[in-house]
Amino acid sequence: MRHGDRRATSRRNVAMRVADGDPFGEGARAQLHARLSVLGGDFAVRSSNRALLELALDAFGGMPRQRLERRPPRLTVQLVLNYQQKTWARGEAPPPPVFSSGAELLCATIDAGNFAVVDVAMSRALISVSRAMLDQAYYPRHELVELAFLTLAARAQALVPLHAACVGVNGKGVLLMGASGTGKSTLSLHALADGMQLLSEDSAFVAADSLRIMGVPNYLHVAPNALGFLRRGSLRRTIERSPVIQRRSGVRKFEVDLRELRAKTARAPLRLAAAVFLSRRTANRDRALEALAPDAVVSRLRREQPYALQRSSNWAGFERRVAAVPSYELRRTEHPDIAVRQLRELL
C-alpha cells in the first residue's frame, strides 16, 4: 500500500470510530512503551505511534539518571496521534502555544490537534500531536514534549525553575543567568570546549534546601556567528554538520545533540558554588566579574526570574540561600574564553 493510501485509510478509520460511538478516540490503544529518566523523575511513557514515541526519545533518551531522592517520583506521560487539519500555511511555523490552567491542570495549546495537558496532582500528562505537526518535529518536541516532562518532574520535587545555564567542574556548578541574547549559549559552548561540565544551556532547576542544580544536557543551540570565536577542530565540525532550527523569535541556530557529540556533560546534580548574572555591558581589560552584594542578588533574582518567583512555593528560602553564595555580574569580554577562565576561578 502506498503512503498516501495508508494515510487515507487511517483517516477513514478515525471517522469510523467517531461514527461507531468513539468520539474521543478512546479505542486507540497505547501499545508502545518506554521508560525515561528526566530531572530525577522516573517516567513511564506510552504511545500508539512510533514517531510520537521517538519525539520523547529524541528529547530525553540517553540522559544521565540524576537523583535528588532515594525514591524518585514515578510519573506517566501518554502521547496520542490525531488527524486534525493543519492550521498554518505551508512554509510557515505553527502557531505559538497558548498557556492556560484550571481544575489543577496546566495546558499548552498550539491548536485543536496539538496540545499538552499536565496533571501535577496525579503525576501524569497527556500530549496530543497531529500528523501534520510531525513534519515540523522541533515544535512539538520543544513546546509540548519537553514542557510536559520538565514541568512534571520539577513540580513533583518542588524544584525552582530558572531561565539559566549551568556549567561546572568536579561536582560544583555556576549558574549563568540573563535575558535571551546575553550569551548563555556562547559561554556554555566555550566552557564545554574548555573541558568544563555542561549541565544545561537554557533551563536549570534548583533544590531550594540544598542548592543542588539539575538540568537536561540534551541539546546545545549555537548561533552561526558564535562560531567565529571557536577554534577549528572536531567540536566545530560537529556543530557545522548539525541541523538548523528557527526559534519563535526568528533567530536561527545550530541544534547540537550533545549525546552524539559524546561531550563532557554533567552526570549528576551540581552543588551551587556561585551565581553569575550576565550583562551586555563591556568589561574592562583587567576583570569581567564584579561582586554583587546580597541585596543586589535578591533584587536581580526577582527581576530576572519572574516565573520562578511567582510559581515556587519555596522561593523565600531559595533566594535567602542564594544570596549567601558568592555572586557576580559578568560583563562582555573581547573573547568568550576570557570569561570562561574567570568562571573557572570561581570553582
At residue 30, the pLDDT reads: 66
- pLDDT above 90 coverage of the chain, percent: 71
Provide the pLDDT for residue 234: 87
pLDDT higher than 50, residue 337: yes
What are 182-238's pLDDT values in tens digits?
889 999 999 999 999 999 999 999 999 999 999 999 999 999 988 888 888 888 999
- Residue 242: what pLDDT? 94
Residue 239 DSSP class: H
Amino acid identity, position 37: S
User: For the stretch 321-340, what's the b/e string if a residue is b when 16 or more beta carbons lie within 10 angstroms of its beta carbon?
Assistant: bbbeeebbbbbbbeebbebb
Confidence check: pLDDT of 17 > 60: no
Q: Which amino acid is located at 152 in the chain?
A: L
The 10 Å CB-count burial string (b at 16+, else e) for 224-261 is eebeeebeeeebeebbeebeebeeeeeeebbbbebeeb
Average pLDDT over residues 292-314: 95
Residue linked to cell 552543588 = 271
pLDDT of residue 339: 92
What's the confidence (pLDDT) of residue 91?
86
Predicted pLDDT of residue 110: 97
50-60 and 146-156 are packed helices; what angle lies between their axes, rounded to 10 degrees?
60
- Distance (Å, rounded) from C-alpha 173 to C-alpha 194? 15
Interval 138-190: pLDDT, tens: 999 999 999 999 999 999 999 999 999 999 999 999 999 998 778 899 999 99
Per-residue confidence (pLDDT) for residue 281, from 0 to 100: 86
> What is the predicted pLDDT for the residue at 18?
47
Neighbours of 109 (CB within 10 A): 17
The span from the CA of 321 to the CA of 261, in Å, is 35
Which residue ranges form the domains of the chain, and what is each CATH number?
28-156 (no CATH), 159-346 (3.40.50)
